[in-house]
Structure 1
Amino acid sequence: MPIPAQYSYRPDGETNTNTPYQPVPWPQTFMTWTGANGDTIPLTGDITCTSSPAGIAVTKGPAGLGMPTYDLKADQLPNMDGGLFRSVRATTRDITIPLLIRGADRTSTIRMHNRLLRALNPGQGPGWITAYEGDGVARHLECYYVSGAEGAETEEAAGFTRIKCAVVLRAMDPYWYSNAELQHDWHLDQGTAQPFLSSSGYPSFFPLRISSTTFSPDGTVTVTNDSSVEAWPVWSCTGAAAGLRLENTTTGKTFRLRDTFSIPASQTVTVDTSPGIKTVTMGGANLWPQMRADSVLWQLKPGRNVLRVTAGDVNENTLIRLHYVPRYLSYVGG
């Protein structure tokens, strides 16, 4: 039966005196599709044909823009209820976007329709669906066209100056990526850098901690991944530097090059930790043999990560750069 209650009542007897919530003004979402041919088409465009002869708009009922679907693995327990959880992974993502193409005349309608078909052609490669939210943050998802634009000459689906279709797109990577790449730099600050071992007589022999005027002298920096999905960084390490060590102290994982390997001056070692890539190169040469056996190409976990960079034989031209793109569960974040 219903329980009588007042929203302003508190169990301690006090009256709710909070001021009324003021809604935050929020612009409408803007969405585009960028095909493999490089053509960017607004999907939330003008279909009144006042600013252009033809336009495309997303109609009611898009699906698949939120959380990805997950595949759970479990073992069934003999003679017991339930199962034993083993693993979870996000599967590929299918997105359905109902579209309305409308033109001022038949010619402009057909031109816009053909422009969309050329941009959707999966034979040319994947495209990008990009959503611009009211907070100004843009996130994109790499997709292949699957179906939906085959065409139907029914009264509801087509007309002389309008075409309706529900485009189905498939993302092999189910996570949305920010359009903004984040970056952190480490370089030698002559005023704060000190020998790693407390001896100033051999500054070119003992390894120096790389620091910056914006980072602490011990080479540590806090990187906050504002997503609930891990991010995979790319490192650009420009020499001179010896015995490079990249450590995530929060997760306890470390990447290290051999102490005997030095990055020559003006040369750059690129460490790409991205899934499916996992490369360590310098000038196109594979540097996997120069990695320590206990090295891990680690990721940034969701939330706070404390990173430390150390190296030896550094100079004022040494630059260690971390850059990464946050990933999200939904087009609005998460």
Structure 2
Amino acid sequence: MPIPATYDNRPDVGQPSDTTHTPVPWPRTFLSWTGSNGDTIALTGDLTGRNSPAGIAITKGPAGLGMPTFDLKSDQLPNMDGGLFRSTRATTRDITIPLILRGVDRTSLLQVHNRLMRALNPNTGPGWITATEGDGIARHLECYYVSGAEGSEAQENAGFTWMKMALVLRAMDPYWYSAAERQYDWHLDTGTALPLLSNSTYPGFFPMRISSAGFSPGGLVDAVNDSSVEAWPVWTAYGPFTSLALENVTTGQRFRMRDNVTVPAGKALVIDARPGIKTVELDGVNAWPQMNADSALWPLRPGTNQLRVAATGVGPTTLIRLHHVPRYLSYVGG
């Protein structure tokens, strides 16, 4: 049954209305695919032939770029209506991207087709979809090619200088990742200058260092996760120091090394809390047995997290570094 509605009769939802809003000019979203071979191909390219002999563009109907699908776990209640919620998790994500390939001649069409096939080949590893919104903010999603490029010579799907296909890509991790890492530094000398640009390369993104803080065992620092999805940090602790403790005061979770564990100058302890990795290494050697029994590799919850870093025996070269990459529900954020 249709719901009757008119454009001039809006229900009062208790929110203030803004009649002075001025529409913001917004460029179109740019989408690209970076294959495991390192080749980056524009999927929202030019089909006119003015800039290149062949191009690729997305046609109507892409799907799967928004929220991931969630698997809800529940128990049915005996002798009662409904069920009891237990847990939820995001499942793998399938994305469908309908494309048209067009060249000024058959040769240019085959060249761009073969280039795309080589970049999609899942036997060489995953690739990355990168979506750049009109505000210039880019997010990427790691995917494997599943199907869609088998080819069809039906009249509506292919011609001598053009062809259509609907790519199906699968993301094992369903969350979109920011193209800029967030980094916080704790060091003994608050006047020590740190370079603005980081040297992270995955896969050539992450150019920005967000902030730094003075190293003090009793101090608190606010680390912001500007997403509605938890983020998992990577810690790199450069010696000298003893009895390192990393605490998320907001969530009450804490990571501690044993009191007798000392990291000398010139050595580094790396604590990687990311799902599927979960490692603690001292100068490249497994240091998991050196963790305190009550330790947790904790995440940053959405919003502001108050963090406390504590250690003894620190020196001028001591540096405790946290970096994380925010992840989002959709290519536009969330």
TM-score (structure 1 length as normaliser): 0.88
Q: Is the 8 A contact 1:189 1:213 kept in 2?
A: no
Alignment size in residue pairs: 310
The 2-side partners of 1:326 and 1:17 are apart by 32
The 2-side partners of 1:219 and 1:275 are apart by 28
SS across alignment from 2:330: coil
2:88 paired residue number: 88
2:162 paired residue number: 162
1:302 paired residue number: 302
The 2-side partners of 1:107 and 1:4 are apart by 54
Deviation at 1:215, TM superposition (A): 7.4
Query: Structure 2 counterpart of 1:121, which letter?
Result: N
SS across alignment from 2:110: helix
Deviation at 1:3, TM superposition (A): 8.7
1:67 paired residue number: 67
2:196 paired residue number: none
Structure 1 residues 37 and 213, CA gap change in structure 2 (3 angstroms): closer
The 1-side partners of 2:128 and 2:163 are apart by 22
SS across alignment from 2:81: coil
Query: Structure 1 counterpart of 2:41, which letter?
Result: I
Deviation at 1:4, TM superposition (A): 9.2
1:1-334 to structure 2, matched below 5 A, reads 19-189=19-189, 218-334=218-334
1:1-45 deviations in Å (ceiling 9; x for gaps): 96999669989xxxx995432011111111110111111100011
Q: Is the 8 A contact 1:234 1:324 kept in 2?
A: yes
Q: Is the 8 A contact 2:216 2:310 kept in 1?
A: no
Structure 1 residues 18 and 146, CA gap change in structure 2 (3 angstroms): closer
The 2-side partners of 1:183 and 1:126 are apart by 26
Deviation at 1:219, TM superposition (A): 2.8
Structure 1 residues 18 and 277, CA gap change in structure 2 (3 angstroms): closer
Q: Is the 8 A contact 1:34 1:129 kept in 2?
A: yes
Query: Structure 1 counterpart of 2:270, which letter?
Result: T
Query: Structure 2 counterpart of 1:160, which letter?
Result: F
Q: Is the 8 A contact 2:217 2:310 kept in 1?
A: no
Q: Is the 8 A contact 2:237 2:270 kept in 1?
A: yes
Deviation at 1:289, TM superposition (A): 1.3
Greater Cα radius of gyration, structure 1 or 2: 1
Structure 1 residues 159 and 87, CA gap change in structure 2 (3 angstroms): same
Q: Is the 8 A contact 2:240 2:263 kept in 1?
A: yes
Q: Is the 8 A contact 2:105 2:161 kept in 1?
A: yes
The 1-side partners of 2:4 and 2:11 are apart by 17
Q: Is the 8 A contact 2:281 2:287 kept in 1?
A: yes
Structure 1 residues 10 and 265, CA gap change in structure 2 (3 angstroms): closer
Query: Structure 2 counterpart of 1:22, which letter?
Result: T
The 1-side partners of 2:89 and 2:281 are apart by 29
The 1-side partners of 2:10 and 2:27 are apart by 31
Q: Is the 8 A contact 2:242 2:263 kept in 1?
A: yes
Q: Is the 8 A contact 1:215 1:221 kept in 2?
A: no
Structure 1 portions without partners, runs of 5+: 192-211
Deviation at 1:224, TM superposition (A): 1.1
Query: Structure 2 counterpart of 1:184, which letter?
Result: Y
SS across alignment from 1:294: coil
Deviation at 1:266, TM superposition (A): 1.2
Query: Structure 2 counterpart of 1:248, which letter?
Result: N
The 1-side partners of 2:92 and 2:332 are apart by 19
SS across alignment from 1:109: helix
SS across alignment from 2:75: strand
The 1-side partners of 2:157 and 2:190 are apart by 69
Which 4+ stretches in 1 moved above 2 angstroms?
1-11, 16-20, 212-219
Residue identity over aligned pairs, in percent, reads 67
Q: Is the 8 A contact 1:92 1:170 kept in 2?
A: yes
The 2-side partners of 1:190 and 1:114 are apart by 54
**Farther-moved stretch of structure 1 (2-11 vs 23-32):** 2-11
TM-score (structure 2 length as normaliser): 0.88
